[in-house]
Amino acid sequence: MVKMSEKLISKTPEGPLSEKWTEHKTHIRVVSPGNKRKLEIIVIGTGLGGASAAASLGELGYNVKVFCISDSPRRAHSIAAQGGINAAKNYPNDNDSVYRLFYDTIKGGDYRSREGNVYRLAEVSNLIIDQCVAQGVPFAREYGGLLDNRSFGGAQVSRTFYARGQTGQQLLLGAYAALNRQIHLGTVKCYTRHEMLDLVVIDGEAKGIIARNLITGEIERHGAHAVVIASGGYGNVFFLSTNAMNSNGSAAWQCYKKGAFFANPAFAQIHPTCIPVHGEQQSKLTLMSESLRNDGRIWVPKKKEDVDKLRAKNIKASQIPEEDRDYYLERRYPAFGNLVPRDVASRAAKERCDAGFGVNDTGLAVFLDFKTAIDRLGKHVIEERYGNLFQMYEKITDVNPYVEPMMIYPAIHYTMGGLWVDYNLQTTIPGLYAIGEANFSDHGGNRLGASALMQGLADGYFILPYTIGDFLASKIQVLKTDINHTAFDKAEEGVKAKIAKLFAVKGNEPVDHFHKRLGHIMWEYVGMARNEKGLQTAIKEIKALREDFWKNVYVPGESGEFNQEIEKALKVADFLELGELMALDALMRKESCGGHFREEMQTEDGETLRDDVNYMYVSAWEYTGEGKEPEKHKEPLKYEFIKLATRNYKD
Amino acid sequence: MDLTLKIWRQKSAKDKGHFETYKVKNISPDSSFLEMMDILNDQLIREGSDPVAIEKGCKNDGPVVFDNDCREGICGMCSLYINGRAHGPDDDITTCQLHMRKFKDGDTITIEPWRSAAMPVIKDLVVNRNALDQILQAGGYISVNTGGVPDANSIPIKRETAEESMDAAACVGCGACIAACKNGSAMLFVSARVSSLALLPQGKIEGARRAKAMVAKMDELGFGACTNTRACEMECPKGISVAHIARMNREFLKAKLKD
């Protein structure tokens, strides 16, 4: 039995699963409208979580300040989510339910998430769809005028709502519109091109932030009664990922260094269907939506000689006859076929490529083929469903996917780990909340497709606006935070010193050079397959790289100007620490679960092998000071309502 | 590929700005345009850090500042006027989706920021598009709060109508339509939002109010008038049709007639 750390009280309510959230809502405190006007909340980030939270909190009457690193809230990387959003509406009458969505999510996460949180997520999922439709999100519809659904990985029902291949964009535009309305009404003030560089803690509570105006370089102080982190994930540790260039882990990392625990940092998702790397000049990877696996079939040749001919460009994929193709997902997982969860599909692709069946000149690609679907449904149907994705693919690769299959390979896409939060989404620092991808709470060791949008909006629209009231109800007599407090002085000095230190190095390598090297280490040792020796090597190499960075980095220009290099340098300095914590967490977790695959722990046929006796817990890391080993805390996971099982997508 | 780049450099909003010429070598045709820009910046940073070069009197203005984020054509952050065209010499894409195979070895490429009075340059190739947010803040929404809304399927919408609304909603807010317009008009951008919402039963309710508020804000912020040149439609990376401008004009007229 794993012992619970005293510092990690999840506050999950007692009682039957389906009544927990209702019971909890009934008993938490609320703030009266008159008092809400006196309270200030800072929200960091304007993706689905941040925008929906800021808008909803503004509607309730709080004074909200929202910070955005881009020139507009609409640029946040939620915009790039393609395939869809899950909800348990059961509109297709295929026997879906809140319980089934909950069950699929827990199972998909390989039994490493909290029952209470996940059930609540499934419970509010339906409200999200209602909300989005009311906002004017143009979801796909049937000819009868009602909403259409499609399937995603890890589910045997069709519960995914979508707007072509631009679902994230449409949902974000909905949340952004709600945010714009509050900005117009004056309840929310939006700071664009601003980046949070530190959290200010006074008497153990989060009271504000230090931010940098990215245009002027000015360092600013902002106070509040509570701070909400909605800054997304840290997938860009890997340099090459499907994350946007500006996505970073720095806001969450500063919170960690101020005392917030960081949970399950090793849990990163590798998405099976991304456009393969083209070469050394590559700056980022592009995802091809999981929705494509509804109609696309994944395969490699059965014969090595066909592989050789493909690599030498002597034949095209379409020339390989049906009987010589290995549809390996359909072969290995008959029940789910091409729609197995992401971690399973990614490992299966790696297995085939490692065995020498990779179909491009680097040997790191498999086919995603639409021929069967085009023959069955006609080209126009495929075009209607995925037109923009096919266009995107063709623009990047110069290959027409209606004629020749797409080439895909796994890439880093999402991080399940993040700031540890309790049932109220509060971190271990009172007054500091984390929502969306920035927290760790709902996806365990692997997130199912179309669930990130669901979680971001669930947290922002329907959970945080309730739970934050419980905390703020005790703050109604507390005056506005004094930004001249010594804690602000200290935090500001720290930020300025760090910036000055980066400029002072005056080495001879650009920031990107170090970021790329970090990416190589992470992908090699902390990527799709991990082992003890490799992880130890990673830790050693990251430490050495970090030293090299602080000796040899060159940051041009100065701080008091629009300077994208200092922005990057600050992010990479944090990634060089975060990467090490990821490796440490992965080293400690001597089991395989979800996307965390330890080669020492696998079944005979290469599937993940969990160790529920020793590792059925959330690892939460506490910062103990520079150069010191962080302290690990454990939150044991209890499964009262679900029977633990080995994940099975075969039958 | 080896290329010559003529790039607009401007230190700040107040600076006059000028073109600088740079050379880049060994660019892969499979690289994206912005990856080519990364390579140039890497070169400029290395030159700037090289003490020998500095001693010889070599100085540069540092890396070129340009907006970019998702690099997959959806966030609308990247801009750039390339060889006289918004988002460069390929149709239906943003700059980040432009690939070097669209150019030839030895080409000279001219790179400028968006140029429009309502979107002033902040630095180098970065412009201030805050005015676009302000127009949407004036009314680009359906006034519903979180919670208390009807079941999603209680509002049936014709499939064709939903699709047309989606066509307009595909706008990424990059500002290419404004940069491409000789009048600096924001009509395509504004009408995409107005039209997308006006088509839906949920959005019709405050359609008139919305059109009036957004048009008034657009005029106030100094965007030009529309003279139907359709340059906006030509350069829109998402292929948004000028038919939406016609719909917005109808909405606006209806609203005005009621006044």
H helices present in A109-166, as ranges? 115-135
Instruction: Tell whether B47 lies on the interface with A, counting CB pairs under 8 A.
Output: no
Q: Give the nearest chain A residue to B51 (CA atoms).
A: A508
**Together in a domain, A398 and A491:** no
Q: What does the alpha-carbon distance between residue A117 and residue A10 come to, in Å, rounded to a whole number?
A: 10
A516 to chain B, closest Cα gap in Å? 13
Q: Which of B146, B161, B194 to mutate to test the interface with A (most CBs of A within 10 A)?
A: B146
Is the Cβ–Cβ distance between A440 and A418 less than 8 Å?
yes
pLDDT digits (tens, 9 = 90+) for B144-184: 999 999 999 999 999 999 999 999 999 999 999 999 999 99
Kindly determine whether residue B141 and residue A135, on different chains, have CB atoms separated by under 8 Å: yes
Q: How many domains does chain B fold into?
A: 2
| Whether ipTM exceeds 0.90 | yes
H helices present in B15-125, as ranges? 33-49, 51-55
Which residue type occupies A58?
A: G
- Please give the structure tokens belonging to residue B258: 């009621």
- The pLDDT confidence band at residue A5, using thresholds 50, 70 and 90, is confident
Average pLDDT score over residue span B111-126: 97
Name the least confident of A63-72, A210-219, A390-399, B105-114: A390-399
B111 to chain A, closest Cα gap in Å? 19
Average confidence score pLDDT of chain A: 96
Comparing CB atoms, the residue among B71, B122, B133 nearest residue A245 is B71
Instruction: Tell whether B148 lies on the interface with A, counting CB pairs under 8 A.
Output: no
Q: Which of B135, B141, B220 to mutate to test the interface with A (most CBs of A within 10 A)?
A: B141
**Together in a domain, B159 and B88:** no
- Greatest alpha-carbon pair distance for chain A in Å reads 76
pLDDT digits (tens, 9 = 90+) for A544-591: 999 999 999 999 999 999 999 999 999 999 999 999 999 999 999 999
What CATH number is attached to the domain comprising A403? 3.90.700.10
Kindly determine whether residue A79 and residue B158, on different chains, have CB atoms separated by under 8 Å: no
**Together in a domain, B61 and B168:** no
Q: How many domains does chain A fold into?
A: 2
Instruction: Tell whether A296 lies on the interface with B, counting CB pairs under 8 A.
Output: no
Kindly determine whether residue B68 and residue A245, on different chains, have CB atoms separated by under 8 Å: yes
* pLDDT at residue B53 is higher than 80: no
Comparing CB atoms, the residue among B143, B151, B159 nearest residue A130 is B151
Comparing CB atoms, the residue among A80, A130, A141 nearest residue B75 is A80
**Together in a domain, B238 and B141:** yes
- Please give the structure tokens belonging to residue B208: 């008139």
Which of chain B's residues have a Cβ under 8 Å away from the Cβ of A283? Answer: 32, 34-35, 38, 71
Instruction: Tell whether A86 lies on the interface with B, counting CB pairs under 8 A.
Output: no
**Together in a domain, B31 and B75:** yes
pLDDT of amino acid B55? 75
**Together in a domain, B114 and B135:** no
Comparing CB atoms, the residue among B45, B74, B128 nearest residue A556 is B45
What's the predicted TM-score (pTM) here? 0.97
Q: Which B residues 69-128 touch A at CB under 8 Å?
A: 69-77, 90, 92-93, 97, 99, 101, 122-123, 126, 128
Average pLDDT score over residue span B236-254: 95
**Together in a domain, B134 and B197:** yes
Comparing CB atoms, the residue among A139, A283, A465 nearest residue B71 is A283
Q: Give the nearest chain A residue to B26 (CA atoms).
A: A281
Position A351 in a domain: yes
Q: At which of A375, A393, A413 does a domain end?
A: A413
Average pLDDT score over residue span B102-111: 98
Q: What does the alpha-carbon distance between residue A473 and residue A479 come to, in Å, rounded to a whole number?
A: 13
Average pLDDT score over residue span A258-278: 96
Q: What does the alpha-carbon distance between residue A577 and residue B66 come to, in Å, rounded to a whole number?
A: 28
How many interface pairs between A and B have CB atoms less than 8 angstroms apart? 227
Q: At which of B123, B151, B174 does a domain end?
A: B123
> Residue A343: which domain range?
272-413
- Please give the structure tokens belonging to residue A413: 């896409």
Q: Give the nearest chain B residue to A247 (CA atoms).
A: B69
Which of chain A's residues have a Cβ under 8 Å away from the Cβ of B153? Answer: 89, 91, 146-147
Instruction: Tell whether B203 lies on the interface with A, counting CB pairs under 8 A.
Output: yes
Kindly determine whether residue A133 and residue B202, on different chains, have CB atoms separated by under 8 Å: yes
Percent of chain A with pLDDT over 70: 99
Please state whether A520 falls in left (phi above 0), alpha (psi between -120 and 50) or beta: alpha
Identify the three-state secondary structure at position B88.
Answer: coil
Comparing CB atoms, the residue among B49, B138, B159 nearest residue A142 is B159
Q: At which of B61, B90, B123 does a domain end?
A: B123
Average pLDDT score over residue span A268-293: 92
> Residue B94: which domain range?
3-123
**Together in a domain, A404 and A291:** yes
Is the Cβ–Cβ distance between A565 and A511 less than 8 Å?
yes
What CATH number is attached to the domain comprising A516? 1.20.58.100
**Together in a domain, B136 and B61:** no
Instruction: Tell whether B152 lies on the interface with A, counting CB pairs under 8 A.
Output: yes
Kindly determine whether residue A395 and residue B99, on different chains, have CB atoms separated by under 8 Å: yes
Instruction: Tell whether B150 lies on the interface with A, counting CB pairs under 8 A.
Output: yes
Q: Give the nearest chain A residue to B169 (CA atoms).
A: A170
Kindly determine whether residue B141 and residue A132, on different chains, have CB atoms separated by under 8 Å: no
**Together in a domain, A498 and A402:** no
What CATH number is attached to the domain comprising B48? 3.10.20.30
Kindly determine whether residue B150 and residue A77, on different chains, have CB atoms separated by under 8 Å: no
Position A391 in a domain: yes
Average pLDDT score over residue span A362-369: 96
**Together in a domain, B231 and B113:** no
Kindly determine whether residue A140 and residue B90, on different chains, have CB atoms separated by under 8 Å: no
Q: At which of B93, B108, B123 does a domain end?
A: B123
pLDDT of amino acid A330? 96
B80 to chain A, closest Cα gap in Å? 15
* pLDDT at residue A4 is higher than 80: no
pLDDT digits (tens, 9 = 90+) for A193-204: 999 999 999 999
Q: At which of A387, A413, A439 does a domain end?
A: A413
Instruction: Tell whether B58 lies on the interface with A, counting CB pairs under 8 A.
Output: no
Q: Which A residues 427-486 touch B at CB under 8 Å?
A: 461-462, 465
**Together in a domain, A514 and A405:** no
Instruction: Tell whether A392 lies on the interface with B, counting CB pairs under 8 A.
Output: yes
Average pLDDT score over residue span B66-89: 97
Average pLDDT score over residue span B199-203: 97
Comparing CB atoms, the residue among B48, B139, B156 nearest residue A556 is B48
Kindly determine whether residue B92 and residue A391, on different chains, have CB atoms separated by under 8 Å: yes
Q: What does the alpha-carbon distance between residue A598 and residue B90 come to, in Å, rounded to a whole number?
A: 45
pLDDT of amino acid A153? 85
**Together in a domain, B119 and B134:** no
**Together in a domain, B220 and B112:** no
Kindly determine whether residue A462 and residue B155, on different chains, have CB atoms separated by under 8 Å: no
* pLDDT at residue A1 is higher than 60: no
Kindly determine whether residue B152 and residue A133, on different chains, have CB atoms separated by under 8 Å: yes
pLDDT digits (tens, 9 = 90+) for A155-174: 899 999 999 989 999 999 99
Which residues are CB-neighbours of B169 under 8 A, at least 6 positions away? A138, A163, A169, A170, A173, B192, B193, B196
Instruction: Tell whether A288 lies on the interface with B, counting CB pairs under 8 A.
Output: no
Q: Which of A148, A284, A512, A572 to mutate to test the interface with B (most CBs of B within 10 A)?
A: A284
Which of chain A's residues have a Cβ under 8 Å away from the Cβ of B202? Answer: 133-136
Degrees, nearest 5: CA angle B24-B29-B34: 60
**Together in a domain, A492 and A403:** no
Which of chain B's residues have a Cβ under 8 Å away from the Cβ of A273? Answer: none
What does the DSSP assignment read for A80-111? Answer: G--S-EE----TT-SS--HHHHHHHHHHHTTS
**Together in a domain, B133 and B167:** yes
Which of chain B's residues have a Cβ under 8 Å away from the Cβ of A183? Answer: 137
* pLDDT at residue A432 is higher than 90: yes
Q: What does the alpha-carbon distance between residue A50 and residue A64 come to, in Å, rounded to a whole number?
A: 11
Average confidence score pLDDT of chain B: 95
Instruction: Tell whether B131 lies on the interface with A, counting CB pairs under 8 A.
Output: no
* pLDDT at residue B57 is higher than 80: no
- The pLDDT confidence band at residue A298, using thresholds 50, 70 and 90, is very high
pLDDT of amino acid A3? 67
Buried b (16+ CB within 10 A) or exposed e, A314-341: eeebeebeeeebbbbbeebbeebbbbbb
Q: At which of A361, A380, A413 does a domain end?
A: A413
- The pLDDT confidence band at residue A2, using thresholds 50, 70 and 90, is low
Please state whether A611 falls in left (phi above 0), alpha (psi between -120 and 50) or beta: beta
* pLDDT at residue B87 is higher than 90: yes
B1 to chain A, closest Cα gap in Å? 13
pLDDT of amino acid A387? 87
What CATH number is attached to the domain comprising B225? 1.10.1060.10
Kindly determine whether residue A134 and residue B202, on different chains, have CB atoms separated by under 8 Å: yes
Identify the three-state secondary structure at position A539.
Answer: helix
Please state whether A346 falls in left (phi above 0), alpha (psi between -120 and 50) or beta: alpha
Quote the crossing angle between the two packed helices B130-139 and B187-198, to the nearest 10°. 30
Kindly determine whether residue B159 and residue A143, on different chains, have CB atoms separated by under 8 Å: yes
Instruction: Tell whether A560 lies on the interface with B, counting CB pairs under 8 A.
Output: no
pLDDT of amino acid A6? 76
**Together in a domain, B103 and B158:** no
B155 to chain A, closest Cα gap in Å? 8
Position A471 in a domain: no
pLDDT of amino acid A214? 98
Instruction: Tell whether A246 lies on the interface with B, counting CB pairs under 8 A.
Output: yes
